[in-house]
């Protein structure tokens, strides 16, 4: 099994949209710039995401896209499924004709793995990812804003406090 660029880019774009959605509709050009994904490719992906109601397009000046539902209700498996990405680890697309038209010895093993991967991704929402510190740090870097580190802030405050006149 290999998650292709289509699935990876769709998840990345949706996470970017979720991270920036509180500022209003997000343009695909902004997602393209931050994530290094071509605008034409994003347009294709968002057409599929819109069809599945995972995103809503907003027309007019300041338009762009918003999530179609709350970020805690958009699961990674939904995004991958919406862009027709396969998480199938079998060589036969679950048909059972993997070995000369017959089921191979390990068909059920790979089929069960596919189900486990889908189940795993069905349990992770955009909100779950947004709450991860590592993702917040990367998003801050991409936005060009400094990420505060509580330990550093505390150390700097203590240093300033110790130098402040009494």
Torsion angle in degrees (nearest 10) through CA of 153, 159, 160, 164: 160
Domain assignment present for residue 24? The answer is: yes
Q: Which stretches in the chain have pLDDT values below 50?
A: 150-166
Structural domain range at position 56: 5-86
Residue owning tokens 């680890």: 89
pTM of the model: 0.80
Q: Where residue 48 sits, what CATH number does that domain have?
A: 1.10.10.10
Instruction: Give 68's DSSP letter.
Output: S
Number of structural domains the chain divides into: 1
pLDDT of residue 87: 79
Domain assignment present for residue 28? The answer is: yes
Give pLDDT tens digits for 35-77: 999 999 999 999 999 999 999 999 988 899 999 999 999 999 9
Domain assignment present for residue 99? The answer is: no
Domain assignment present for residue 23? The answer is: yes
pLDDT of residue 113: 92
Domain assignment present for residue 159? The answer is: no
Domain assignment present for residue 131? The answer is: no
């Amino acid at each position: 099994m290999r998650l292709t660029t289509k699935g990876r880019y769709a998840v990345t774009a949706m996470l970017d949209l979720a991270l920036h959605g509180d500022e209003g509709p997000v343009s695909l050009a902004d997602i393209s710039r931050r994530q290094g994904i071509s605008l034409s490719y994003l347009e294709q992906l968002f057409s599929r995401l819109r069809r599945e109601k995972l995103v809503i397009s907003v027309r007019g000046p300041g338009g762009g896209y918003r999530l179609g539902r709350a970020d805690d209700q958009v699961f990674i498996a939904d995004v991958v499924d919406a862009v027709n990405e396969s998480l199938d680890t079998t060589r036969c697309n679950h048909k059972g004709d993997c070995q000369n038209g017959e089921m191979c010895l390990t068909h059920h093993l790979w089929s069960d793995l596919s189900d486990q991967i889908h189940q795993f991704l069905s349990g992770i929402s955009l909100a779950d990812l947004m709450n991860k510190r590592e993702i917040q740090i990367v998003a801050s870097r991409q936005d060009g804003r400094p990420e505060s580190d509580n330990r550093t802030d505390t150390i700097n405050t203590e240093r300033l406090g110790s130098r402040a006149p009494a």
